Amino acid sequence: MPAQAQSALGAQLSVLKATFEEIEAAYRQSDTRCAQAYEDQARYIGPIDNVMEPRDNACAVFSPGGVRTAEWRDCSDSFYDAYEKRRAVYRTCLAEQDRLGDERLALYRDIASVEQEMRSGALVGSPGVPASGGAPGWLGVEAANLKKRHMTELALASLDGAYVKGTKEGSPAEKAGIREGDVIVRIGSNLIARKLDISKASAGFKAGQVLNVDLIRSGEPQTIYVAIEARPLR
């Protein structure tokens, strides 16, 4: 897959992941609201479900002290009105949670689909990778530690990451479209806070792996998949 196509898919993937995080946060908040709504409703369910207890008596249990028997009927009406309102709130919350759950699942599938397309595309761009599987691998990035000036120049929120000065000719990084000015923050499961972290991560690379490289490009997060190739002989 051409590097330009990888970059476009990487930008799309970042948007999908950011949207997923927003939906996930909204879902968790909804879950908390629904739990509270259920508790509010549950205070009324017991007396209503107890068919052996008259409605008036059930209402009186939840009524302010001093309610006279003659007033139980009005109290009962208020009791059931309160219950219906709470049940409506709970049902509305459940409907919202179902909607968010469906959106979350759809986004998860979209993310998985784009990631699979990027992995496949990375392998297409490096046809020799499967045959060299298991050999020590390399990435081919020339990196430097970030400096304070980079925060302004590259619109960064912190100095965590490694600045890409360039890529080696013919390297997996070059083929994948990693370029000068990118800031690498993760490779596979390895967080990258400085250039040394790239060397540490690279020590475990095996040819045949297809790894995600999370980076910041022009102030925006992006993911690129790189097909790790066998380390060239010197």
Q: Are residues 10 and 87 in the same domain?
A: yes
For 98-107, write each residue's pLDDT tens digit.
Answer: 999 999 999 9
How many domains, the chain? 2
Instruction: Verify that 118 and 139 share a domain, yes or no.
Output: no
pLDDT given for residue 65 in this prediction: 55
Q: Is residue 136 domain-shared with residue 118, that is, in the same domain?
A: no
Whether residue 147 sits in one domain with residue 110: no
Q: Based on the domain organization, do 119 and 163 belong to the same domain?
A: no
pLDDT in tens, 33-52: 999 998 888 776 655 555 45
Angle at which helices 3-49 and 72-124 cross, to 10°: 160
Q: Are residues 226 and 179 in the same domain?
A: yes
HEC string for the chain: CCHHHHHHHHHHHHHHHHHHHHHHHHHHHHHHHHHHHHHHHHHHHHHHHCCCCCHHHHHHHCCCCCCCHHHHHHHHHHHHHHHHHHHHHHHHHHHHHHHHHHHHHHHHHHHHHHHHHHHHHHHHCCCCCHHHCCCEEECCEEEEECCHHHHHHCCCCCCCCEEEEEECCCCHHHHHCCCCCCEEEEECCEECCCHHHHHHHHCCCECCCEEEEEEEECCEEEEEEEECEECCCC
Contact (CB, 8 A) for 48 and 83: yes
Q: Which of the four pLDDT bands, split at 50, 70 and 90, describes residue 126? A: low
Q: Which of 177, 176, 167 is nearest to 142 (CA)?
A: 167
- Per-residue pLDDT reduced to its tens digit, 6-37: 778 888 888 899 999 999 999 999 999 999 99
Tell me, yes or no, whether 61 and 172 share the same domain.
no
How close are the terminal C-alpha atoms of the chain, in Å? 28
**pTM of the prediction?**
0.66
For residues 141 and 115, state if they share a domain: no
pLDDT at 187: 94
Spatial CB neighbours of 171, under 8 Å, sequence gap ≥ 6: 138, 139, 140, 141, 229
Average pLDDT over residues 108-128: 80
User: CA-to-CA distance for 92 and 185, rounded, in angstroms?
Assistant: 41
Q: Which residue type occupies 232?
A: P
Residue 184, domain CATH: 2.30.42.10
Do 136 and 113 belong to one domain?
A: no
- 73, 94, 124 — which closes off a domain? 124
The domain boundary, picked from 95, 124, 153, lies at 124
Query: In which domain, by residue range, is 186 found?
Result: 130-230
Q: Specify whether 117 is located in the same domain as 144.
A: no
Q: 185 falls in which pLDDT band (50, 70, 90)?
A: very high
Distance CA 148, CA 55 (A): 71
Domain match, 14 and 91 both: yes
User: Residue 110 pLDDT > 60, yes or no?
Assistant: yes
Q: Do 96 and 15 share a structural domain?
A: yes
Residue where a domain terminates, one of 59, 93, 124: 124
